[in-house]
Amino acid sequence: MTSTTYTVIFYLFAAITVFSAAFVVFSRNVIYSAFSLLFTFFGVAALYVFLSADFIAVTQIVVYVGGILVLLLFGVMFTNRIMMTDLKTDVLNIVPGILILVATIGGLGYIFLNRADWFVTSERLQGSVVERIGFETMSRYVLPFEMASILLLLALIGAAFLARFDKPGKSEQ
């Protein structure tokens, strides 16, 4: 494929990501927002593929589509009368909103133009990155990795504790 094809595909995915994300925010139907999030996550995964980060792209799909989106949809579907509440998508706090918007765009733009140290290469990354990710996780980044796993374990135990119902007879004693 030529580089024009790549550019066209890139802008296609970028457009999908941006427009579906806008739909998530502006839609008045919470179910449609949740389903629109699917296209946002897939668009972001496609952008990762363009950066030769295919492992992260698949992880993005596994974690966000398989985990978070399904959890969100479950939450929405199990919530009673969620379709009857009016979602507010009006503009409410104009002045603080604009201030935060300008600050965010200004900060990002400043970093993008002045501070960032972009790693530019004309060649695409070749070969498998999976082994390198494994080695780095188990050597240089082993402490953050273990800390994240302990955090997840705590969340798991907490969830199991909250979810289990009391044994009958225990409360009577």
Partner 1 sequence: MSTSLNAWSDALSGFSPAGLPLGLLIIAAIPLVFIALYALTYGVYGERKISAFMQDRLGPMEVGKWGILQTLADILKLLQKEDIVNKEADKFLFVIGPGVLFVGAFLAFAVLPFGPAFIGADLNVGLFYAIGIVALEVVGILAAGWGSNNKWALYGAIRSVAQIVSYEIPAAIAILCGAMMAGTLGMQQIILQQQGEYGFLHYFLFQNPIAWLPFLIYFISSLAETNRAPFDIPEAESELVAGYFTEYTGMKFAVIFLAEYGSMFMVSAIISIVFLGGWASPLPNIGALALNDWTSGPLWGAFWIVMKGFFFIFIQMWLRWTLPRLRVDQLMHLCWKVLTPFAFVAFVLTAVWEIYVK
Should residue 127 be labelled a site residue for partner 1 when binding is judged by CB under 8 A?
yes
1, 84, 92, 113: residue in contact with partner 1 (rule CB under 8 A) = 1
130 scored as a contact of partner 1 (CB under 8 A): yes
**Closest separation between CB of residue 169 and partner 1, Å?**
21
Write a three-state SS string for the chain: CCHHHHHHHHHHHHHHHHHHHHHHHHCCCHHHHHHHHHHHHHHHHHHHHHCCCHHHHHHHHHHHHHHHHHHHHHHHHHCCCCCCCCCCCCCCCHHHHHHHHHHHHHHHHHHHHHHCCCCCCCCCCCCCCHHHHHHHHHCCCHHHHHHHHHHHHHHHHHHHHHHCCCCCCCCCC
Q: How far is the CB of 123 from partner 1 (least distance, A)?
A: 17
**Interaction pattern, residues 29-58, with partner 1; x per rule: CB under 8 A:** --xx--x--x---------------xx--x
* Shortest Cβ 64–partner 1 spacing (Å): 9
Query: Which residues 137-166 are close enough to bind partner 1 by CB under 8 A?
Result: none
Task: Note whether 61 binds partner 1 by CB under 8 A.
Answer: yes
Which residues of this chain interact with partner 1, rule CB under 8 A? 1, 5, 31-32, 35, 38, 54-55, 58-59, 61-62, 65-66, 69-70, 73-74, 77-78, 127-130
